[in-house]
Structure 1
Amino acid sequence: MTLTAPASPRAARTRRAPVDPRLLREVRSARSHLVRTVALGLVQAACVIVTALVIARLGAQLLEHRQLPQDAPALLLALLAALAVRAAAVLVEQRTAHRAATEAIGDLRGRIVAHAATLGPRGGAGRGADLTALATTGIEKLRPYLVGYVPQLMLAVTVTPLCLLTIGILDPLSALIAVITLPLVPLFMILVGKMTVGRSEALLADMRTLWSQLLDLVDGLPTLRALGRERGPEKIVRTLGDRHRASAIGSLTFAFLSSMVLELLATLCVALIAVSIGMRLVYGEMDLAPALAVLVLAPEIYLPLRNVGSQYHSSTDGLAAVGAAFEVLDEVPPADGAIPAPDLRTSHLALRCVSVLSRDGSAPHRADLELRPGRILALTGASGAGKTTAVQVLLGLLEADEGRAEVVDEHGNATDVRELDRRSLWDQVALLPQRPVLPPGTIRSVLESARPGATDAELEEVAAATGLEAVIAQRGWSADLGRSGRGISLGERQRLALARALLSPTPLVVLDEPTAHLDGGTEDLVLDLLRTLRAQGRTVLLIAHRSRLVDVADDVAVVEAAS
């Protein structure tokens, strides 16, 4: 399943509960928020009933006996207390709702990212920019759902029935009118829902598609600019923006129309009760006090349901976000093994006839290689042949469709990588992809994170060996870097990542085109760095296109694809 695809018609027709049970079952803050909202709803219902009864009593005394409200201080105090408690309940509900939404979003966001990482590079949950869109703006759709829709839904199941029961005690005829007209509100909600079905899923899919293509475009801008084609993609961006804007405006249009329809319906329903009470008051068939109480309570019957209807678009958006999040979380990650990985300083990794299916066949196809300890292995082949994929299989990040990756210890015992405790294997590997991933912090802290406790002399040595000393001379050791090394150029990030690899004590270093973003002078430093790593007795796996990198290797393995 691809997350960027719009929702299928079958998915759009699937009925969903107003509150997703998975959200309540697996997200503690959402469950606590629901329980707290129910309790606050009961408090508000009690305050509404007390307020109506007190106002009715004060109004009846004023109109029938000319007794001013200040002549009944106990009733005034009761009224003020009910209003104050209700206001406090509403305030607590709103404040806790925002806090609960923030905690729930943070919880789901962390679980999405962590789970997607365990799925591997080709996890069915989707990767890259699409996952970024879901974990940022996509999951934020949950906020209006928890802050707006869920509280109104809980009020509808607490305030509405209690007020209806009170009206039934005071005036059964008004209660009968309310019971007959009340189903009209959910009926119109269903009609509105049928018009908006699938719209939220389509809006979320459009937004994530826009994010994915925009981020891909930004990543490819240097290449487009080098080829002189940076002026073309704005048409694609404009088309994507127009499509997203049309989806958003369509959703807002239905939201405003549904609010207007429900507002008009609730007003007419209250008017029916008011007309009935007015006619009976004129003919003396009803006392004034219960009539006033019923008139105050009648709007409170319809208000929660009306608000639920007006918040319906928040419900669909929130449920769509929850569904997309659990699509990621429901993906089954590859099972981890239990065997500790052997020491890679004396063991070697190998691929045995490994093939991985791709769009056009398999890449790599029947790949065989051995990575012996203390040597440099250059992995070569045409672009798209599956060199990076082969490395991912070798490190247990991806399962092969054919063949297997194995670790052979010093005694010649071979163990399938899938049977190993992957963490014990990855702790012995320093991986440097083409686009380095760096933690935020200063240049010094980023280097020290590769080897805690490194001395100043060691830091200066690796900086000189990788050409990083020029960056340090210009910016200083305390230069603050953003996430993934933001604030320095891509080439400087590459040097910093190389310095981290050299400083790391891991016995295996994997370099994916380490000279891709470096000039000729810095490329010489990288070649010297490879020789230094070999002199230290460390094993190096090198994905290489340039002949100078291949020349420095001890062994060469060629990877090929097959259609």
Structure 2
Amino acid sequence: MDRRLLRLGPVRRYAVVLAGSALLAAVLVVAQAVSLATLLAAAVTGRLDRPQTAVWLTVCLAAIVLRGLHAGALGAIAGRAAAGVKAHLREELLDAAARRGPAWLTGRRAGELATLAGRGVDGLDGYLTGYLPQVFLAAFVPLATLAWLAFTDLASAVVVALTLPLIPLFGVLVGKATGARTARQWHLLSRLGGHFLDTVRGLPTLRAFGREPAYVRRVRDTAEAYRAATMRTLRLAFLSALVLELVATVSIALVAVPVGLRLLHGGLTLSAALVVLLLAPEAYLPLRALGTKFHASQEGLAASAEIHAVLLDRPRATTATTEPRLPPPGAAIALDRVEVRYGDVVALRDATLRIEPGDRIALVGPSGGGKSTLLSLILGFTAPTEGRVLVGGADLAGLDLAAWRARLAWMPQRPHLFAGTVADNIRLGSPDAPLDAMVAAAVAAEADGFVRALPRGYDTDLGAHGLSSGQRQRLAMARAWLRADASVLLFDEPTARLDPASEAAVVASAARLAAGRTALLVAHRPALLSIATRTVTVDGGLAELRPAVAAQ
């Protein structure tokens, strides 16, 4: 059993239920075999007219009915428990991703996490509904049957006791190879998800540079490797099932042949022989089924290892030994010799910058120079590889990030609109904002006019109604206006890809919003520079171009 999964509260409770269920199943197996053997012996010897026959018949019928009900109830319990455990793991995974922030979900990691939370967690069905219940049955039923066999015929019990370990022994030998192959199969599926998401995200760029055939080949090659790994795993699973069935069949024969010979020579009663012949297969059956369920559970267990690796890999901010502190109000923000690396790529090197309350700084520089990384540092989405981000002289890594982000309003390059109403999307950062405040924010962002022209105004479902880039940016600006308590504004190229009219509307709204607040504006176009009091060039490091420029 997977100890990592057993540490989860829902799985522990489920395991207790399975233990009780397996004990009941063991009692029913023995009761059915003994009562049926007694009835068959009575039928062969012509003693069905005895009074106790009705009792044994009742016991046999009750055992058969209860075993059927037990199997149905166990399936329902397993399904419900699996749904609960999967929901719990998905919630934990999403919480772990949220704690790390968007910067953690770079490159293929977003696709791999989506595959893990989707297919990976669903892969646990085989483990939770098949393998884990069978583990408890394999622990209780063989012991119960072996105990009753010892009471009925000690010689047969000894043969069963000696041959029973052969099945788990062969199962372990085959399982080691299966586990390694399944882990490789899951790794290939995870890579395939990451490659596919990267390709879909970058299709416009790939087509612009004529690189889409190379990425199509890469996805195809990864898919082919996954197919080949899957077929190798299935081939091994089928062969191992054959081995386990052969071992179990030979073991049952080793019990049945001596019992038949002893019965012929009068060394064993018919009733005892029938009990042995009916109970011996029941002793091997749970272990044979366990081997089959083991292969079905391997993909989920491979995914479980990666799930727990994500959950146990805590972000830097959550590993502090002291309680997070609240950031001081109205404090200066400073970068102290900060370096940020993404693998071998250096995004920022030896960056030092001080931002006083009320500063409005335009960040300029070439694409890839580190401007968005600088905003990500201040948001707490990215942790410095070296150096510190300071708020009021305190290291941001030791502050309460939720409280700090409550003071920020962030407008990314491509604001995401969720399936929901216009009002829900504006209220994203302030879900409890009243209607009049939400409308006032839309008016301030110069979005009210086009919103009221939509089919249902603020109640229009954006999942079924598309918006232009300018309209999306103005809704994002309305989100920033609705965060009335935000003292720091972070704008990441809000006017990129906008027509002149939309650009003018966004710049005018941003200028009014930035008045009296601290603002960092990533800007490539002159219109946004008019808001700034000073301009800083970002190109792997920081260099101030002009100490002060009057805001227009």
TM-score normalised by the chain length of structure 2? 0.89
How far did residue 380 of structure 1 move? 1.9
Matches within 5 A, 1:155-304: 155-227=137-209, 230=212, 233-304=215-286
Is this contact kept in 1: 2:244–2:291, CA < 8 A? yes
Find the residue that maps to 1:541 and give its secondary structure.
strand
- Equivalent residue, structure 2, for 1:6: none
Is this contact kept in 2: 1:203–1:247, CA < 8 A? yes
Is this contact kept in 2: 1:116–1:127, CA < 8 A? no
**Out of 363, 368, 390, which is 1:406 matched to?**
390
- Equivalent residue, structure 1, for 2:546: none
Aligned amino acid, residue 421 of structure 2: T
- Equivalent residue, structure 1, for 2:288: 306
- Cα distance in 1, alignment partners of residues 206 and 97 from structure 2: 30
Find the residue that maps to 1:366 and give its secondary structure.
strand
**Out of 522, 537, 544, which is 1:558 matched to?**
537
Find the residue that maps to 2:445 and give its secondary structure.
helix
Aligned amino acid, residue 286 of structure 1: L
Gaps of 5+ in 1: 1-18, 409-413
RMSD: 2.7
- Equivalent residue, structure 2, for 1:5: none
Gaps of 5+ in 2: 542-552
Find the residue that maps to 1:289 and give its secondary structure.
helix
Aligned amino acid, residue 46 of structure 1: V
- Equivalent residue, structure 2, for 1:522: 502
Find the residue that maps to 2:349 and give its secondary structure.
coil
Please give the per-residue CA displacement for 1:522-552, whole angstroms capped at 9, x wherever unaligned.
22222112212123x2332212233332343
1:508 and 2:488 matched: yes
**Out of 314, 330, 333, which is 1:332 matched to?**
314
How far did residue 480 of structure 1 move? 2.4
Is this contact kept in 2: 1:490–1:517, CA < 8 A? yes
- Equivalent residue, structure 1, for 2:371: 387
1:542 and 2:524 matched: no
Find the residue that maps to 1:510 and give its secondary structure.
strand
Aligned amino acid, residue 32 of structure 2: T
Is this contact kept in 1: 2:437–2:482, CA < 8 A? no
- Cα distance in 2, alignment partners of residues 489 and 284 from structure 1: 93
Is this contact kept in 2: 1:54–1:79, CA < 8 A? yes
Matches within 5 A, 1:459-498: 459=439, 462=442, 465-467=445-447, 469-470=449-450, 473-476=453-456, 477-482=458-463, 492-498=471-477
**Out of 18, 38, 54, which is 2:35 matched to?**
54
How far did residue 182 of structure 1 move? 1.5
- Cα distance in 2, alignment partners of residues 136 and 28 from structure 1: 21
- Equivalent residue, structure 1, for 2:547: none
- Cα distance in 1, alignment partners of residues 514 and 440 from structure 2: 20
- Cα distance in 2, alignment partners of residues 249 and 471 from structure 1: 54
Is this contact kept in 2: 1:467–1:525, CA < 8 A? no
How far did residue 29 of structure 1 move? 1.1
1:101 and 2:82 matched: yes
1:112 and 2:93 matched: yes
Is this contact kept in 1: 2:427–2:438, CA < 8 A? no
Please give the per-residue CA displacement for 1:7-33, whole angstroms capped at 9, x wherever unaligned.
xxxxxxxxxxxx1223212x1111111
With over 3 angstroms needed to count, the CA separation of the structure-2 counterparts of 1:353 and 1:327, relative to structure 1, is same
Please give the per-residue CA displacement for 1:370-407, whole angstroms capped at 9, x wherever unaligned.
33333432112222222222222223333323332222
Find the residue that maps to 2:388 and give its secondary structure.
strand
Matches within 5 A, 1:316-355: 316-335=298-317, 338-343=324-329, 346-355=330-339
Please give the per-residue CA displacement for 1:161-188, whole angstroms capped at 9, x wherever unaligned.
1101111111122112212221221222
- Equivalent residue, structure 1, for 2:356: 372
- Equivalent residue, structure 2, for 1:357: 341
Percent sequence identity over aligned pairs = 38
- Cα distance in 1, alignment partners of residues 535 and 197 from structure 2: 35
TM-score normalised by the chain length of structure 1? 0.87
- Cα distance in 2, alignment partners of residues 561 and 360 from structure 1: 14
Is this contact kept in 2: 1:58–1:69, CA < 8 A? no
- Cα distance in 2, alignment partners of residues 314 and 158 from structure 1: 22
Aligned amino acid, residue 347 of structure 1: A
- Cα distance in 2, alignment partners of residues 496 and 244 from structure 1: 43
Deviates more, 1:387-396 or 1:467-476: 467-476
Q: How many residues align?
A: 533
Please give the per-residue CA displacement for 1:269-306, whole angstroms capped at 9, x wherever unaligned.
22222222222222222111111111111111111111
Find the residue that maps to 2:459 and give its secondary structure.
coil
